[in-house]
Structure 1
Amino acid sequence: MIRLLVIFCSLGLLVHANEVCYEEIGCFSNGSPFYDPPLRPISWLPESREEVGTKFLLNTRRNPSVPDMLLTSDITTITSSHFDPTRDTIVVCHGYTESGDVAWMQDMMTALLNNGDHNVIRIDWHPGAMAIYGKATANTRIVGAEVALMVNNIKTYYSITGATFHIVGHSLGSHVAGYAGERITDLGRITGLDPAGPYFEGTEPIVRLDPTDASFVDVLHTDANIILTSGAGIMQTVGHVDIYMNGGKQQPACDQSIIEHIGEEDGLVTGSVYYVVCNHLIAYDYFTESVTDGFPWLAYECDGGWDKFKNGECFDTTKVARAGFYGDELKPDEGRENVVYYIRTNDETPLGGYQYKVDVYFSDPRKAQKHKGDLYVTLIGINSITESIKLNDEAMEYEPDNKYSFIAFSSVYPGSLVGVQLRWEYDPDWYKWWDWDLFVNPEIYVNQIDVTDGQDGRMSTFCDSTSDAIEASKDIVNFVAGTSC
């Protein structure tokens, strides 16, 4: 995909604005703003409705296994189906090169039905999604129009409002949702799962998903890198709320080797594909897990960037709500849009978990020196003990008489905390051979650790009762509850 886009950009081809029109869904032009070099160096016209081949597959709790096929051309396929107008409807749309029967859509449908008595409609536009990428982006306009036609037909027949509809789209499917929302005047919600970036980044709102497409638009960003660094997701804010998962660029669960991915995805081809575009694909795993796994999936509002969040500067439990399926809790006050949130997740399944702010106070005895390394804590609660949690993403220098703040993540909830264990590992610069741990035995001094629970905002203070030095890669020091240290 990336190679193709680079080739097209280098050709510098121009197009004359043309238009195609189809009964019921209207006309589509390839002129401005859909032709917008260098963002869109070639503007394709979409293929015909028949070539795109949009299908609608309905599952409910009354037909969880075998879907009903809904047709926009035949209202009886809707009226004779298992569709229940008294229930909310969740519409799910896939992206490039996929179909409505891919495993993640099946998994999401099952999770949604296990969660509640919903109408779940899967959109299958496989023929149009298999076209060359630029053509597929044009085909999303046809799919969006088809979705709007279906939803509006259902609304009219059953006299229900669009507020009962929630469209969930991954990658190109996110922009399908946006095009549908333009034609559904009262659509309740759109959730964009890492909306596609190439051919959409920086374009006019009418070309991509934007906050005007539904009453509430929430977006999970997972692969928001520029295309030259292989990012498949969009970087810019495009919703009322934009949640940058783990900063939005690199997901912890994607840091596995290709062999591990092949093993987990049950196959060479599937595992290899997931390895290459894991950061993009994992967006739908986040959403599916947020439906039923029981973790809070708390996201924190932060307008200062990922580094500011990692340093604990946005850990305000008054500006926190659940992300993913329950993301409507994040809906901002009227008039606000592009509100940025951040959240940490796990590096393996289950992906959800619990977040804490950890403040580590380095003391300043006469022997203390500045050292570089990694800090690890284990949280001890009345219910359980967490795993050993690495606090810093990259090795950093710690100076005496300073406080360092981190956001820690655990897949285990220990309950009310009664203690903390701390250890650290030395990380000398490779070119300073005289600092290698073969020749030195570095020590640090820490006298206090404060831990703030991300769910209720409760802060607990823990003190080092020994005041002894903490030797790298050796000592594990227990910190006990106290009021001051």
Structure 2
Amino acid sequence: AILEAEDVNCIGVDWREGSGNIKMYVQAANNARLVGAEIAYLLQVLQTEYGYPASKVHVIGHSLGAHAAGEAGKRHQGIRRITGLDPAKQLFEDTPEEVRLDPSDAGFVDVIHTDISFPLGVGIVKPIGHLDFYPNGGKNMPGCPPKLSDLGNMDALVDTLTCNHFRAFLYYTESIHRREGFLGYPCDSYKSFLSGASFPCPEGRCTFMGHYSQLPPALKAPQQIFYLNTGGSISSFSSWRYKVSITLQGTRAFMGKFYVLLPTTGGGTQQFEIVSKKTAPGGNFSGFIDVGLELGPMDNMDCKWAPVFLNIFRCQFGAQRIEIQSGKDGKVSAFCGNGTVQENVLQKLILC
């Protein structure tokens, strides 16, 4: 995938014989340092014999390979960038920087965490790079089954247990072709991200997860944590975040759900849920959604609503106005509607 996007030399390191057996994990963890030393030696040869500087080198490692990349950086100073894809936790969490990947190993170290759940997560939990990305909070990746859902089938169980862990390199691969779909938001926690912290992107402080990651120009700390949500389909993990704000139209307070219908890949539509706990007519409520494509210009849109309980009074509600704000640049598209409709009946709004 990298060669499809850039004119570069790409070298793969095959050390399956030293890392592929989970029963020999302790030996494999020790082998990571040896592999890192070998990579450093190769880079030194390239530099001394062919004049290829470390400042042009980008090392990418998954799991134990991330720590092997760190070892290479320790031994061959000046590497431009190291990317750690869900670095292994066992025997590396809370250890000295000398034995694991850390920010001093390269000019830029970015890390993607996808399997930090307790107790079965195998990815390192704490941030260990200049930029650390926690898609979906770093656990329970969309599309991956619960870890213990295949206890009766050992072959399926292995795939289930590793699904979250392997998502890191799948996200990175897709980011090569869909840079815009992996925008990270700087937040203190996943909970604050879900509640709207750093939305829309603070100027100069967001950055992309994956291949096109770079230090944000307005970075306020030497290390920064980013959160984002991804899609769950193996064919499309990219996602764009929006805020949907609805101005209610009706004759009484509304408790329930509004659904906005937006375009998706393939030319279809998908409905996204916005919940109202209790909103008076003319009042506003809002929510955040993650869409599988970047929304282009729209002349109109549809919505519908559903009550929390039975609609015994046959109430009707509608959306007087719906605003859709982009998390990437803060731009707002506003759509206006008239009247009310019954539950689960589509209402069309047009661009205001």
The aligned residue for residue 6 of structure 2 is 116
CA distance 1:403–1:339, shift in 2 (3 Å):
farther
The aligned residue for residue 149 of structure 1 is 41
Whole-angstrom distance in 2 between the partners of 1:156 and 1:360: 59
Whole-angstrom distance in 2 between the partners of 1:438 and 1:258: 40
Deviation at 1:280, TM superposition (A): 0.9
- Please state whether the residue corresponding to 1:163 is helix, strand or coil: helix
Match of 1:368 among 241, 250, 253: 253
Deviation at 1:276, TM superposition (A): 2.5
List aligned pairs for 1:50-199, cutoff 5 A: 111-129=1-19, 130=21, 132-199=24-91
Matched letter for residue 287 of structure 2: F
Q: Does 1:387 align with 2:274?
A: no
Kept after mapping to 2: 8 A contact 1:358/1:407:
yes
- Please state whether the residue corresponding to 2:299 is helix, strand or coil: strand
* More deviation, 201-210/235-244: 201-210
Match of 1:324 among 184, 188, 210: 210
Whole-angstrom distance in 2 between the partners of 1:442 and 1:180: 67
List aligned pairs for 1:382-461, cutoff 5 A: 387-391=269-273, 398-401=277-280, 403-425=284-306, 435=309, 437=310, 445-461=318-334
Kept after mapping to 2: 8 A contact 1:418/1:480:
yes
CA distance 1:425–1:155, shift in 2 (3 Å):
farther
Q: Does 1:283 align with 2:168?
A: yes
CA RMSD after TM alignment:
3.2
Deviation at 1:217, TM superposition (A): 0.5
Matched letter for residue 335 of structure 2: F
Q: Does 1:303 align with 2:187?
A: yes
Deviation at 1:202, TM superposition (A): 2.4
The aligned residue for residue 223 of structure 1 is 115
CA distance 1:144–1:346, shift in 2 (3 Å):
same
- Please state whether the residue corresponding to 1:192 is helix, strand or coil: strand
Whole-angstrom distance in 1 between the partners of 2:189 and 2:315: 33
Alpha-carbon displacement from aligned partner over 1:164-217 (angstroms, at most 9, x marks no partner): 111111111111111111112101101111111222222222232111111001
CA distance 1:440–1:125, shift in 2 (3 Å):
farther
Aligned-residue identity in percent: 30
Whole-angstrom distance in 2 between the partners of 1:444 and 1:133: 60
Whole-angstrom distance in 2 between the partners of 1:335 and 1:380: 37
The aligned residue for residue 475 of structure 1 is 345
CA distance 1:134–1:452, shift in 2 (3 Å):
same
Whole-angstrom distance in 1 between the partners of 2:12 and 2:278: 55
Deviation at 1:301, TM superposition (A): 2.8
CA distance 1:404–1:304, shift in 2 (3 Å):
farther
**Greater RCO between the two (CA within 8 Å, min separation 6)?**
2
CA distance 1:469–1:398, shift in 2 (3 Å):
farther
Match of 2:234 among 349, 362, 365: 349
Kept after mapping to 2: 8 A contact 1:182/1:213:
yes
Q: So what's the TM-score if we normalise by structure 2?
A: 0.84
Whole-angstrom distance in 2 between the partners of 1:286 and 1:244: 12
Alpha-carbon displacement from aligned partner over 1:379-418 (angstroms, at most 9, x marks no partner): 369x9966314346xxx65221464443322334442122
Q: Which runs of 5 or more residues in structure 1 are unaligned?
A: 1-110, 262-267, 429-434
Matched letter for residue 306 of structure 1: Y
- Please state whether the residue corresponding to 1:252 is helix, strand or coil: coil
Whole-angstrom distance in 2 between the partners of 1:361 and 1:208: 48
Matched letter for residue 339 of structure 1: Q
Alpha-carbon displacement from aligned partner over 1:336-368 (angstroms, at most 9, x marks no partner): 332122222222133244414223335375422
Matched letter for residue 259 of structure 2: Y
The aligned residue for residue 68 of structure 1 is none
Q: Does 1:462 align with 2:335?
A: yes
Whole-angstrom distance in 2 between the partners of 1:397 and 1:202: 43
* More deviation, 213-222/150-159: 150-159
Kept after mapping to 1: 8 A contact 2:63/2:88:
yes
Kept after mapping to 1: 8 A contact 2:240/2:293:
no
Matched letter for residue 193 of structure 1: L
Alpha-carbon displacement from aligned partner over 1:412-431 (angstroms, at most 9, x marks no partner): 444212223223455x6xxx
Deviation at 1:239, TM superposition (A): 0.9
Kept after mapping to 2: 8 A contact 1:168/1:192:
yes
CA distance 1:278–1:210, shift in 2 (3 Å):
same
Matched letter for residue 408 of structure 1: I
Alpha-carbon displacement from aligned partner over 1:18-48 (angstroms, at most 9, x marks no partner): xxxxxxxxxxxxxxxxxxxxxxxxxxxxxxx
Matched letter for residue 210 of structure 1: D
Matched letter for residue 280 of structure 1: H
